[in-house]
């Protein structure tokens, strides 16, 4: 497998993880405290920065993660 595909997968996974945690914090604030969510977001952004992808690929992944995926599989039903 090409290394760039692995980097794209890592970037996509980190964005999905951030999105999932933010949605779950809104639904269940007592189960997902703010300090936990902040730590998860910082760790995910650090992993994203280490992937060193071109900006247009990063923007495409973020657009798919934040706009297309919630329409396909809302996170109230799929976790």
Largest interatomic CA distance in the chain: 41
Alpha helices (H) along 28-76: 34-51, 55-63, 69-72
The pLDDT value given to residue 15: 85
Q: Please tell me the predicted confidence (pLDDT) of residue 68.
A: 72
Residue 76 has pLDDT above 80, yes or no: no
Q: How confident is the model at residue 72 (pLDDT cuts 50, 70, 90)?
A: low
Q: Residues 24-50: pLDDT tens digits?
A: 888 898 988 999 999 998 998 888 888
Answer yes or no: is pLDDT of 69 > 90. no
74 or 47, which is more confident = 47
């Amino acid at each position: 497998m090409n290394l760039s595909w692995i980097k794209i997968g890592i970037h996509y996974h980190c964005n999905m993880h951030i999105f999932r945690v933010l949605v779950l914090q809104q639904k269940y604030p007592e189960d997902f405290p703010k300090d936990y969510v902040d730590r998860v977001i910082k760790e995910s952004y650090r992993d994203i920065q280490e992937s060193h992808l071109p900006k247009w690929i990063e923007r495409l992944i973020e657009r798919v993660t934040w706009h297309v995926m919630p329409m396909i599989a809302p996170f109230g039903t799929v976790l």
